[in-house]
Structure 1
């Protein structure tokens, strides 16, 4: 019996999924350093920063992460950005007021999108849209 490998080179994963999307993004996991007080104090500036990233086409998705039981929020968040490299994604994260102020710390992980679905419904008459 052969043990399964504990890791594969990125090139092997890319080759195995060559028929898929292979869109490289970067996930920024953000965690409070000293409780919710400093996080809440930076929230307005943080959200303005996120909206600017969205407007500039950098932000793919972002939002709070609940506790595992889905009952509480301890100040954690996830931000997914479009960037040319991990270093570029880190530079984006450093500029976030949450991180610049020291309210949160962050970790950046490369994330390649291969599978999934996104549906947007656009009602022309009312000029409304819904992400399904």
Structure 2
């Protein structure tokens, strides 16, 4: 029990350290990673017939997507912002359906969407970092 609590505390400190030192692009990547972890954990909980864990992980994924990713959208982003906002809403609906039906299929769909968005965001982050390094040189 003590070792488990110590490991959890250590992991939490590590996450907090990463958050405090991350730039905005890295923070968004961390949100994508957290949402993906929660969706994948929910799928494992459904397969293991662990209803409390399923609910916990799906709720966390919805919170990350709506209160993290969606809330971080730039309101002056125009059509792209509108489309991403609608996509995040769609993901929330699909996650709620997965929860209500204990169905893994919507989780697989949302996981694929999140992976695609994360990959695109990582490419933007890399390009921005490269551009900044070029300007500083």
Q: Do Structure 1 and Structure 2 share a fold, with TM-score over 0.5?
A: no
Tell which has more relative contact order, 1 or 2 (C-alpha 8 A, sep 6+): 1
Class of the TM-score when normalised by the shorter of the 2 chains: under 0.3
Which structure shows the bigger proportion of residues in helix conformation? 2
Normalising to structure 2: TM-score of the pair?
0.25
Normalising to structure 1: TM-score of the pair?
0.26
